[in-house]
Every structure is written in C-alpha cells, then in structure tokens.
Amino acid sequence: MATNYSEIIVNLSNLESPLYDDHYLKFSSQKCIIFGKNGTGKTTLCKLVSEQIKNMDVRVFDGFNNLLGSDQKLNAVILGEDNVQIRKKIEEENKKLSQKRQEKEKIQENIEEPKDENIHNLWTAYDDAKKTETAAKKKYDKELTRIAASIKNASHPQIAVATYNRDNLIKELDNDGLFNKFSELSDKEEEKYKEILRTDQKTVKELIWPQGDYYRMRDQVNGLLTKKVAPSVRIERIAGNEEKTRFAQEGLRLHKPNDVCAFCGNTVTESAYEELQGYFSERDITSSQNEIQELVQKIKKEIQIVEQLKINQKDFYAIYNDQVLEVNNELITHQEKVLKWLESISDALENKNIFKVDAPLSSNVPDDFGFIKKEFEELRNKNNNDDLKKNQENSMTMLRYSRIIKLCRESKYSELKKKWEESKSTTQITYQNLKSEIAKIEGPGGLDEQIGLIEKKISSLQAQTKNERKLADHINQHLKNFVPFKIVHHSSQQASERGYYVVQDKSTGKSRDVTKLSSGEKNIIAFLYFIEKLDEIDEKNKNTSSRKKLIVFDDPMNSNDETMQYLIMEKLSSLMKSREGDRFIILTHNKHFYINMCNRSEKKRFLTRVHFVSDGTKTHIKYIEDQKEDFSTSYDTLWSELHFLYDSKQAPENLMLNPMRRIIETYTNFNNIGYVDFLTKVEGAKKLFDVNSHSIDDLEADMTGLDKDKIIGLFKSCFSQNHADAHFKNHWTESK
C-alpha cells in the first residue's frame, strides 16, 4: 500500500495578467517534475506556491543571488556540532529512530506492492481479493445484464419500460424484497394479467331488473283461482257438467240466432240462444276473464324480463372474471327457479274454469332478484370506477416480477451473487487487515508520529550546540573532485554576528569573495548550500521544524558542465529518497535533465509529470498520465512541441519555425547530411528555415501567404526529397 499524499492545489487564476489557460495546478504525489521552456511561467508558479501553501514549510531554490544576505555574502548556516553529552543522547535517539524506521519499513514491506511478484503480503492479499471480487462482480453483472435484456425485450405483452436496464433490475431485486414478497405466477394468473394489459376501457351498462312482488302476485293468482262465476238461470242439460258448460259457453261465443250449429247441424233457435245468454252472465264472465288475462299478461311480461336477464362477462375487466362468474351462476340458478314458478302460475290461470273454484297454489314463492342485483351493482361500480391504467401498471409489474423470478431460478444468478458477496466480504476483511497495519504507521500514536517526536527531540538536542563550519565541510566534500577551490568559513570577530563563506584556491591558498565565481560554479555551490540549509534549526520559528517541507527547485540546472549536471541529479535523487515525508516540485527547461530525473524515480506512482507548453500567448498545462505521452529523447520533444504549435489556434505560424530548424539540424547532423543540401532540394525551404540567412524583417516577409498547413507541407517535402518520408510520418504521427 503506497503512502497517501494529500492533493496540493495551486490557484493560477488570480494573476493580474493571465499567464496560464488553466485555473489550477494539482498534484497528489510526493514528487512533481515540470518541464517548460523559459517564459512559460515556472518562476511565477514558484511565487504562487510560496504565497498559497501555508500548511507546509515551503523552501524554494531559485538560484545563487536569492541565497545571498543583504550584505551580498553567502552567510553561514547554524548546524549542530556534537559534544560529548549531547552526542550520547543523540546516538540513543538515533538508535530509537533507526529501530522505529526499521519497524516502519517492515510494516511497509507488508502493506506496499512488492517488487518481486513471488512475494505475498497484505497488499497482494488485498489486491488479489479485489481482483477476485472484480471478476465475480463482472460475471454477476453480466448475468444481471442478460436477465435485464430479456425483461426489456419481452413483448406481447411488453412488461417493462423501453429504457429498462441492469440498474432497474438491481433496484427491484434489492428494494422490493422480490423473492420474499412474490413468486412465479400460475398459467391462469399470468393469462389474467395479460388480458388486463390487452384490455381497452370497459363500462358495464345497467340491467333491467324484474320489479314484481312475487308474494303479492301469488295472492292475486290464488284470488282468481278460488273465484267462480255463478249462472243466473239453471239449464239441466249442462248444469253440474264442467265440460258441457265450457262447450256451451264456447258455442255461445261462436254462434248467433238462426246459425247452423257447427256440431249438430241444427238451426240455433232464438229461444235457445237467449236461454244460454241467461245462463252465462256476460258481464260477470267478461269481468272474470279480463282479470285473469290481465294477470296472465303481467306474469308473461315478468317472465320476459326475467328471461332477458343476462350478465356478459366480456363487459368486465379480466381482473373481475372470478367474481362475475360467481354472480352469473347465482343469477342463472335463481332465474331458472323464478321462471319455473312464473310459468306454473301462468298455466294455472290459463286453465282456470271461471265457473269453478280451484285449489290455491301451494308451491313456495321464490325470492325476488334484490340480493343478486345488489351483488351485480357492487361489481359493476367496481368495474366502472376501476383505474385501468393503474391495474395495467400493476399487471405489468406482476408479470415482470414473475419473469425475473423465473429467469433467476433458471440461471446461475444465486450462485454468482453468492460468490460475489463472499468475495466482497473477503475484500473487506483483507482491507481491514491492511488498514490496521497502515494505522500502525499513520494512525494516532503510530510510527510516523513516534518518528516525528524522536526527530523533533534530535533537532532540539542539535539546537543546543552551534557550529557554523559544518556546511563548508559538507560542500567541499561534494566538490573536492570537481573544482580547484574550496569553501572556507570566515568567522566574525564579533560574537553577536554570524560568519560567512569565502572561496580559497587550493593551489595558491588565496581567498576571494564567493560572489566572484562563474555562474556555473555559483549555481552548484548555491544548490549544495540550499540542501544543507534544509536542516538548519530556525531559532526564530522553531515550530516549522515539526512541519513537513515542500521543497521547490526552480531550474536547478543552469550553465553547469556535464559533470555538474550529473552531480545535481545524483544529489536530488538521494535527497528525495532520504526525505520520505517531504514533498518536491522540480521545474526545469532542460529536457535531458527532465528525462533523467523521471527515469531516476523508482516509484513512478509517487511522481506527477507535467509539461508547460506556450502557444505564444498563454501556457497550457499538460499532465502526463502515460509514459507513452512523455519525452523519450530531446529530439522527440522537438516534434511534440511542433505538433502542439500546429494544433494551437492561438500560436502564430512563425513560432513553428524554430523547432523545425532544430529538427532539421539534429537530423542532418545525426545522418551526416549537409544542412544546405537538405534544404535546397525544396524551393523556398532554405530561405524559410535558415535563420542565419535573413533578418527578422526578412523572416516576416517570407511568411506572407504561408499558413500552418503550407509550412508543414514544405517541411514534409524536405524529408520526402531526402528519401525520409517514413521518418517524417513516424515522428509526426507519434508527436500527436
């Protein structure tokens, strides 16, 4: 597990004259190495860092002159010089410090990514657990995606919205407690919900229900059955014979006086006709017959109404099918019972002999349709007031849930989920183990805190003694094989004053002011002096010694020779390794130095790489996320710079010429091709690219009518005419 570094953010937007096209610079690693040409804002950034970063002890190296005191001298630095007693104490504390650092290192070996892939520790256990969890989650998610796609694509009917996806499925599985609350639908239930989805708006109409009072109707029928018409005179030949009486009554109705009798063929005499009229009282008979007919018609009308009673199941939503069927069965059963009764009383009336008293009806009177009407109306109101949209949404949900449960049961869903949850649990356990070990270093009272307290105590012990000569000894030790002079501490005659340093020639022993050195010599001394000064005890502000340092180097490479360059690089690498808790920002315009410092960094994940690239107006901040995006050689850098200027809308065309000239010079030197010969093969190329052949005014004139594409075309032609098309194509493509 790598040490976590908090993110440092520098605000770039509060400058009076905007210099950067980004508002912030961010880096979260121990080291940030920034490459940028002169004028891209490196020194401005150093100033902003010093002004804005308040939670760290910021130290900035920006050259020799800024390290001189007001007296223009390189003043002595106060460093501890061991005396006998303090040395013993410091040695004891150093032993403790060494022990704590060893403990820390041992823990770090267990919590950081090992260099050897065969070594297994808490970091690898956590990493393996995460990979296992990721793989299990991937399989689980893949199965969920498949199930969600099946749900989404289901049709006839559609059971999910068109945007249904894995996230919707997970929400339904988790939040609704699907497997606890629901189960697969039966075929009958499934068909019912499908029918609801296929259903249009349905409204059930009223039924015309019978209004008859059957008990009253029975009493009316019995009243007529027990009633008879009495004749006003007696005719012996028919008296007491019901059939003859009925025959005579019918004959009276069909014949008139003097008609030929349809039965016997004799003439109906007027006296016989009058005799029968007297026997059958026409008014009483007519009245009785009318009463019977009226009641029969009433019964037949009731029969007709009862027969027309019919509940159409299709008029109802499918959700009410069971209830409709139950009410309809009740209706049919009662309907048959009522019709049978009505027909029986109708037959009794139609067969009634008005001249005879019949026995009253003895059958049970059926109930009316009131109780069935009530059930029907309740069901009808439910149906007509039904929220179809809501029911269809519910039906879609029930069908979808059933499908989800079925697909999960048929697939490896449960097994995959179990494996994922087990792997997630393992990850949590390994993470807690790792976190517990990290806390031993970074937690309250941890090794970092203990080491800090010991270091603070050592600093306090060192502050008890003063010696201004140690720095000169340290610097001379580094320079003894590289320069013909040494730094000598010049003690002040007054005890209240600090000393300063002079330069002494090793051969002659003559001394001179340190400011009289060459720029390269001054720079290397200033660089070493700055590093030694990092551990100086600041007696005016001792609390800064307990704070972590942010150490900034603004172009530490100056005009040093190659030997000094490598000395600076070695010293910087060693410094960053030894000061593990401190942070570093290194800014440089030297590509060779930039590439070397990046390559010297052992732990690339602790390194932030940034390029400052100017388009002539503003500086663009480019974070290098991949090694492939970074410089590999200075030559590649020139191609990268050229492509940036080509792409930048703000960069004028003439800025492209300088990297083009340097590319051509490098290419021709490396391939032993004459510079002039390389250019003269393309008309106009030599005048455009040969900076020594014309003045600035001429250069501006040469640019007339040439845009960036034409300049690149001319540049490409130079390579083509020298049989280097592939070289141009590869570098131009890679520089993208």
Map out the domains of the chain with their CATH numbers.
1-56+548-628 (3.40.50.300), 131-203+388-425 (no CATH), 230-280 (no CATH), 466-543 (no CATH), 634-734 (no CATH)
Give the other-Cβ count within 10 Å of 621's Cβ: 21
Contact (Cβ atoms closer than 8 angstroms) between residue 425 and residue 129: no
Handedness of CA 251, 257, 261, 264 (dihedral sign): positive
Cα–Cα distance for residue pair 132/126, rounded to 1 Å: 10
pLDDT digits (tens, 9 = 90+) for 590-640: 877 787 788 766 665 668 889 998 888 889 998 888 777 777 677 787 888
DSSP 8-state assignment for residue 64: S
List residues bridging with 612 in a β-sheet.
36, 621
Residues 6+ apart with CB under 8 A from 645: 615, 651, 655, 656, 659
- d(Cα 454, Cα 93) in Å, to the nearest integer? 6
Question: Please, which pLDDT band fits residue 736 given cuts at 50, 70 and 90?
Answer: low
CA distance 62 to 77: 18
SS3 at position 101: helix
**Which DSSP helix (H) or strand (E) runs through 585?**
strand 583-588
**pLDDT beyond 90 at 349:** no
Tokens of 206: 């009223």
Residue 369 has pLDDT above 50, yes or no: yes
Taking alpha carbons only, the member of 21, 107, 52, 42 closest to residue 446 is: 107
Give the bridge partners for 36, in sequence order.
612
pLDDT at 380 over 60: yes
Average pLDDT over residues 663-684: 85
Q: How confident is the model at residue 693 (pLDDT cuts 50, 70, 90)?
A: very low
Single-letter amino acid, residue 291: E
Considering only 252-256, 315-319, 425-429, 682-686, which range has the smallest mean pLDDT? 252-256
**Arithmetic mean of pLDDT, 723-732:** 87
Q: How many CB atoms lie within 10 A of CB 466?
A: 15
121, 127 Cβ separation under 8 angstroms: no
Q: Which residues, listed in sequence order, are joined to residue 31 by a DSSP beta bridge? A: 584, 607
Identify the pLDDT of residue 698.
44
What residues form DSSP beta bridges with 553?
61, 586
| Distance of alpha carbon 469 from alpha carbon 78, whole angstroms | 8
If pLDDT is split at 50, 70 and 90, which confidence band does 425 have? very high
Supply the pLDDT for residue 128.
92
- Range with the poorest average pLDDT among 102-106, 267-271, 726-730: 267-271
Q: Is the pLDDT of residue 498 over 60?
A: no
Q: What is the mean pLDDT of the chain?
A: 81
Contact 610, 29 (CB under 8 A): no
Q: For residue 535, give both structure tokens.
A: 């551990």
Give dist(CA 166, CA 140) in Å, integer. Answer: 11
- Helix or strand run (H / E) with residue 339: helix 321-350
| Residue 562, token pair as written in the block | 């190659």
User: What is the pLDDT at residue 266?
Assistant: 83
What are the CB-based long-range contacts (under 8 Å, 24+) for 670-674? 673/722
| Residues forming beta bridges with residue 619, ordered by sequence position | 20, 614
pLDDT in tens, 188-216: 888 888 877 777 777 888 888 888 888 88
Please state whether 598 falls in left (phi above 0), alpha (psi between -120 and 50) or beta: alpha
State residue 237 phi and psi, 5-degree precision: -70, -15
Q: How many residues does the chain have?
A: 736
Q: Mean pLDDT: which of 172-176, 187-191, 336-340 is highest?
A: 336-340
> What values do phi and psi take at 659, rounded to 5?
-65, -30
Classify residue 534 as exposed, middle or buried by CB count within 10 Å of its CB (0-12, 13-18, 19+).
Answer: middle
Comparing 303-312, 387-396, 562-571, 668-677, the range with the smallest average pLDDT is 562-571
The pLDDT of residue 436: 92
Most confident of 62-66, 592-596, 651-655, 718-722: 718-722
Residue-level pLDDT at 284? 66
* pLDDT the model gives residue 605: 61
Is the preceding omega at residue 652 within 30 degrees of 0, hence cis? Answer: no
What's the CA gap between 679 and 673, in Å, rounded?
Answer: 10
426's CB contacts (< 8 A; 6+ apart) are 129, 132, 133
At 735 the pLDDT is 65
Which range has the worst mean pLDDT, 380-384, 459-463, 707-711? 459-463
Question: Does residue 210 or residue 541 have the better pLDDT?
Answer: 210
Q: Which helix (H) or strand (E) holds 620?
A: strand 619-624
User: Computed from CA positions of residues 640, 641, 642, 645, in that sequence, does the dihedral angle turn out positive or negative?
Assistant: positive
| Cα dist from 556 to 30, 233, 559, 611, 623, whole Å | 18, 155, 10, 17, 21
Q: Which of 320, 319, 316, 314 is nearest to 196 (CA)?
A: 319
What's the pLDDT band for 696 if we cut at 50, 70, 90?
Answer: very low
